[in-house]
Structure 1
Amino acid sequence: MNPALVLPIVLPLLSGTLSLVLWRSRRMQRLIAVLGTLALLVSGVRLLGLVSRDGIQVLQVGGWQAPFGISLVADVLGAIMVVLTGIIGLAVAIYSLATTGRGHEAFGYFPLMHLLLAGVAGAFLTGDIFNLYVWFEVMLVASFALLILGSERPQMEGAIKYVTLNLVSSVIFLVAVGLLYSLVGSLNMADIAQRLTRLEDRRLVDALAMMFMVAFGIKAAAFPLFFWLPASYHTPPVAVSALFAGLLTKVGVYALYRVFTLIFHHSPGYTHEILLWGAGLTMLCGVLGAAAQHEFRRILSFHIVSQIGYMMLGLALFTPLAIIGGVFYIIHHIIVKTNLFLVSGIVHRLRGSYQLKRLGGLYREHPWLAILFLIPALSLAGMPPLSGFFAKFIVIRAGIEAEAYGVTFIALLVGLLTLYSMVKIWSEVFWKPLPEEGESDDRQPPARRELWLMAAPALGLALCTLFIGLNAGPIHALAEASAAQLLAPEHYIEAVLGETGGGS
């Protein structure tokens, strides 16, 4: 039994509870937000160290042996995702100190943030398919509440689209879990993986695989049901947008990786053929949508969709190199996309708008902000020597080796169009002079402390991007170890069920 598996879930829940107890103390809520997310990050790093040193970590909750009890499991991929959750949580918590008003805090901003982080960490660590559904619903409740804080009309419109499609996904997910249990009589993912191989009717297994693909595809904002994301992510406060952009869709991607390398690893190749088509169309639709936008956060929101396609491509190709590329891409994208949203919030604080036509002149006034934008922007476009270059290079090389030339061409084209979008933002926001309609004499400039609190997380994430790019070897080694475990699910099954296979 290893308590290190519980801490990434318990710490955010404890932080949220303390925030509720200290409801009337704004200062204490803010302090708990920073210390709680820092503790989450430390627990994630410790867990990753344990997994790297000792292999897959398992905790049978309540002492009930799998498959009868609830299992918490951390392999390399799960531990990496928990570390990234801690990094993004800490960055957003610090950023929120400068951007979250008293009104939002009074309606539970910080407790909801901790609840969301607990849901994300729980989804990454659970070894039980029904509990994965439960953690998805925890995330949905917390994210919906964060999305409507302020109750402005655009927020409500975006929230309705967001929650409607995600509820559809949840219904499909729950029905699939029920059907799966009726077939195999188990909810433990390792046990399910064993029992499914013994079923004679493969058509039922294939139908279940498609249901999970649709459910998680919606959560990940994959083609064709991705429109809820660009309709909603630009509406809440920017700290909420950044938190969503970094983590929420990646939980859907993680679920696809987990289910299609463990439970349905024996399914016929057509499921991965569908994933391959979905990856290409997700990349293309997302980047074309971004090219048509002229609002900072809407451009970034559409690019979340396009980048999800690269992660799906790694899974769809299903070769060791492709899985390595997919995991590397997830690591890179979580940090870069969160940072771009944080930078957009600084721009809005300085200029009072997200509309590109009303922005300009920031390179001359704040050259440091221009640099903070360029690092994640060029990384997103795949420019060397930044993290995005290595992520794209590995995925594209895997596509060429697998002779998937069509989708590889789309991946290259999307990279060029992503660069076009980033250059458009640079030109409009930083390079061109500030237009007269963007000037405002009554706008109060941010205080130095406020600006520092907004810039510090963006700087930290930019340094992470540079570190990954300039020290790609260790990250590649982690991605390689993760891919080795994902492509050999018997190690996961043995860790959870033991050598006897749990009596299946």
Structure 2
Amino acid sequence: MATPAKTIVDLSSAMVTAPVPLANWLAIAPVALCITLGAVLLMVRSSTRLQAFVAIPGLFVLVLMDAALLVKVAAHGPVTMVMGRWLPPFGIAFTVDILGALMALTSAIVALASGIYALKEVTESGRRYGFFPFLLLLMAGVTGAFLTGDIFNLYVWFEVLLISSFGMLILGSERGQIDGAMKYAVLNLIGTTLFLISVGIVYAVFGTLNMADISSKVESVRDTAPLMTLSALLLLAFAMKAAAFPVNFWLPASYHTPRIVVSALFAGLLTKVGVYALIRIMVMLLPIEREQLSLLIAATGAATIIVGALGALAQDDIRKLLGYVVISGIGNMLIGIALGTPGGLSGAIFYALHSMVLMTALYLLAGQAAALAGGFSLTALGGLYRKSSGFAAVSFILFIAACGLPPFSGFWPKVILVRASIDVGAWWLAAAILIGGFLLTVVFGRVFLLAYWRPATAPLAAASVGWQAGLPLVILTALVVAFGILPEELLKMAQAAATGLIDPTSYLQSVFPDGMVP
């Protein structure tokens, strides 16, 4: 029956009727920017020179947007935007807290540095086949995963970044790339399938996919719902994404195959999205189940640290060596999640931010070392110190940070995690962290002695460190130094992020400001 023309329908109970503050649009602007620029680059894919002129400024704007978002969230608390003006949980929500904003900003910096490096490394053929569109779409997926407040859309953004990463892996269509892409695809698709099954269970149990709504309802269904089964599935799915032991073998089998700038992006970003999802869901949504699984998570983290370090020690190819270093770092983050204390979680968050910057820098460094010395094999490398003392100094700083030694960025999160482990009586976790750091010191000491200090076994290439490689390395190394020498502000934000996960009251109030959860 038609509604009379003069009937006034009250939409306030279903839709957002108040004007949305302009600053709140920052919650979705980074994702919209990446998708828009990615589409533009696809339309002009035949103009290979134009693509870089669009992508690099676009990534710089992305950094500014994410920085403004972090400032807003730090000053005023979490920000929520819903699609179509439908009130949560019916409208798909983007909810940004300090953790999401920190991760988004760091990922944007990593992407900008990698994009600048790609100006030199990615050939005209690589641009024609879509490196820069893939890069922007990858950032849409990564940023969307960090900013979404909906668990199904977390799955969607995982799919977006995976599709983009498949394209970047096979740029060049070499045999090794295809082989690496197959291993990467199979394990990640298994993990994605487990995640999708888990999403279905979540909806069946809670009747909603909004994270804030799930967090508010979890206590009411804990006695009747299969939450432990759900938690175990999510743990396995995200452990595969993060390359935790024993489901880590896909990473060293695939990350050494693409162009080095692609490996740098993957090492800096993709495994951290898995860690972020694990922190968000296990700590904020399923804290009791996380506590019950804490021993398993802790044992997995300790094993991941040691296996990664030993794997790195056994490698001759620098790219494979760095793949195992990525894996070892994931173990430190898992220990922080297993502890679940404010100290443990802040250490895990700090370590994730440090690892995003450091691992990207280390892969770019390896690419430049190979350009100077003609290969990635440690047995063939040598004389890099004589070739460029400045390059050797930057390398030494990054190696020290990777070992977790003072005064650079890797030191503080390890100190926090060791202290948090000792505070709860988990001496064996503290020992695993310290042993892993010692093994990595041996690993990078060996790299420096063979590749830098030892005389060259063959004439070095005439190439020098160009600005396309030098500028990203300087930016990322400066962050590594700043995180180590001036850690206070970052530590405060990591602690605030950890507190917000343990007590998500402000997160829930951002989504349901009147306190009326459906």
TM value normalised by structure 2? 0.94
Secondary structure of 1:58 counterpart: strand
1:271 maps to 2:293: yes
Aligned runs of 1:207-246 on 2, under 5 Å? 207-246=229-268
Aligned to 2:505: 490
1:330 maps to 2:345: no
Aligned to 1:455: 470
Q: Greater shift after overlay, 11-20 or 58-67?
A: 11-20
Partners of 2:333 and 2:222 lie apart in 1 by 32
Partners of 2:413 and 2:284 lie apart in 1 by 24
Partners of 2:256 and 2:499 lie apart in 1 by 37
Partners of 2:517 and 2:480 lie apart in 1 by 42
Q: Output the amino acid matched with 1:467.
A: A
Partners of 1:264 and 1:494 lie apart in 2 by 19
Aligned to 1:150: 172
Q: For each residue in 1:142-187, what CA deviation from the matched residue of structure 2 results, as whole angstroms up to 9, or x when unmatched?
A: 0011001111111111111100000000110000110111111111
Q: Output the amino acid matched with 2:285.
A: I
Size of the aligned set, in residue pairs, is 496
Partners of 2:83 and 2:318 lie apart in 1 by 45
Aligned runs of 1:68-467 on 2, under 5 Å? 68-201=90-223, 204-267=226-289, 269-436=291-458, 439=459, 445-446=462-463, 451-467=466-482
Q: For each residue in 1:72-111, what CA deviation from the matched residue of structure 2 results, as whole angstroms up to 9, or x when unmatched?
A: 0110000001110110011001000011011111111100
Query: What's the CA shift for 1:29?
Result: 0.3
Secondary structure of 2:441 counterpart: helix
Partners of 1:289 and 1:210 lie apart in 2 by 27
Query: What's the CA shift for 1:200?
Result: 4.9
Query: What's the CA shift for 1:502?
Result: 2.6
CA, structure 1 residues 70+409, in 2 after alignment: closer, same or farther (shift >3 Å)?
A: same
Query: What's the CA shift for 1:201?
Result: 3.6
Q: Output the amino acid matched with 1:206.
A: M
Q: Output the amino acid matched with 2:141.
A: G
Aligned to 2:494: 479
CA, structure 1 residues 115+405, in 2 after alignment: closer, same or farther (shift >3 Å)?
A: same
Q: Output the amino acid matched with 1:455.
A: G
Query: What's the CA shift for 1:268?
Result: 6.2
Partners of 1:27 and 1:395 lie apart in 2 by 46
Query: What's the CA shift for 1:266?
Result: 3.1
1:28 maps to 2:43: no
Structure 1 runs of 4+ off > 3 angstroms? 200-203
Q: Output the amino acid matched with 1:219.
A: K
Q: Greater shift after overlay, 256-265 or 164-173?
A: 256-265
Query: What's the CA shift for 1:352?
Result: 1.9
Partners of 2:185 and 2:482 lie apart in 1 by 36
Aligned partners of 1:493 and 1:501 also within 8 Å: no
Unaligned runs of 5+ in 1: none
Aligned partners of 2:77 and 2:506 also within 8 Å: no
Based on CA coordinates, which of the two structures has the bigger radius of gyration? 2
Secondary structure of 1:62 counterpart: helix
CA, structure 1 residues 202+395, in 2 after alignment: closer, same or farther (shift >3 Å)?
A: farther
Secondary structure of 2:90 counterpart: coil
Secondary structure of 1:13 counterpart: helix
Partners of 1:106 and 1:482 lie apart in 2 by 41
1:13 maps to 2:47: no
Partners of 2:34 and 2:280 lie apart in 1 by 23
Q: Output the amino acid matched with 1:403.
A: G
Partners of 1:203 and 1:279 lie apart in 2 by 28
Kindly, what percent of the aligned residue pairs are identical?
Answer: 38
Secondary structure of 2:95 counterpart: strand
Aligned partners of 2:378 and 2:447 also within 8 Å: yes
Aligned partners of 1:332 and 1:388 also within 8 Å: yes
CA, structure 1 residues 56+67, in 2 after alignment: closer, same or farther (shift >3 Å)?
A: same
Secondary structure of 2:289 counterpart: coil
Aligned partners of 2:81 and 2:93 also within 8 Å: yes
Secondary structure of 1:353 counterpart: coil
Q: For each residue in 1:270-321, what CA deviation from the matched residue of structure 2 results, as whole angstroms up to 9, or x when unmatched?
A: 2122111111111111111111101111111101000001111111101111
Aligned partners of 1:261 and 1:486 also within 8 Å: yes
Q: For each residue in 1:218-239, what CA deviation from the matched residue of structure 2 results, as whole angstroms up to 9, or x when unmatched?
A: 0011111001001111110011
TM value normalised by structure 1? 0.96
